[in-house]
Homo-oligomer: A and B are copies of this chain.
Amino acid sequence: MLKSRVILAMDKPLSYQVLKEMENELYGIKVGLPLVLDLGVDKTRELLIGLDVEEIIVDFKLADIGYIMKSIVERLSFANSFIAHSFIGVKGSLDELKRYLDANSKNLYLVAVMSHEGWSTLFADYIKNVIREISPKGIVVGGTKLDHITQYRRDFEKMTIVSPGMGSQGGSYGDAVCAGADYEIIGRSIYNAGNPLTALRTINKIIEDKVMKCKGAIFRKK
């Protein structure tokens, strides 16, 4: 059984001690650029390297030419996985990033649908084609857009789906998983809480209870 369906979005530093207390109740940690700007690469690595979580995902929403994206990820070898945008396209960009990550046993997630209101869904067909061509480990679909999660789950049966936008951005815990996501990405509701561990436990329980009840949920094919 999964120990947790929560990926902690860490855009602000939490102490090593607090992270150590949470590690058994998290699936993974998503590292944001604000955190890396605050700590620097070396201290970010030091903070994360001793933690026992399944996956460390660096989320800089990479959206550049291949040369620049490779220059970025090669400096962050403590991560297991990286998030990039699909809309930037394949040739000279995502193809080069994917080859580099494959050669270095790192994973790629592509952004399919963002969580904010202004994200346009006019280009869904284009984005799906890029995802098919690149074949990443997973995709990012905003947890505020449950219909899109279900649609992407149907279209990409075996891909991991991670959903940001839960909590502070308006998504209700557990709804993204019930719509077809594998993990929910939660940041401010945990790291801004007086007691992050208690907040995480409460959220884990809410998700677990909701998932028990959500009949008809579509889960990823293994």
Q: Contact residues of A with B, CB < 8 Å?
A: 11, 32-34, 36-38, 40-41, 60-66, 68, 71-72, 75-76, 85, 87-95, 114-120, 122-123, 126, 169
Contacts and interface: CB of A to CB of B under 8 A. Distances in A.
A72 B37 CA distance: 8
A126 B120 contact: yes
Contacts of A64: 61
Nearest to A91: B118
Contacts of A66: 116
Contacts of A117: 91-92
Nearest to A36: B37
B65 A93 contact: no
Most buried by B among A37, A38, A92: A37
B89 A87 contact: no
Nearest to A123: B123
B34 A41 contact: no
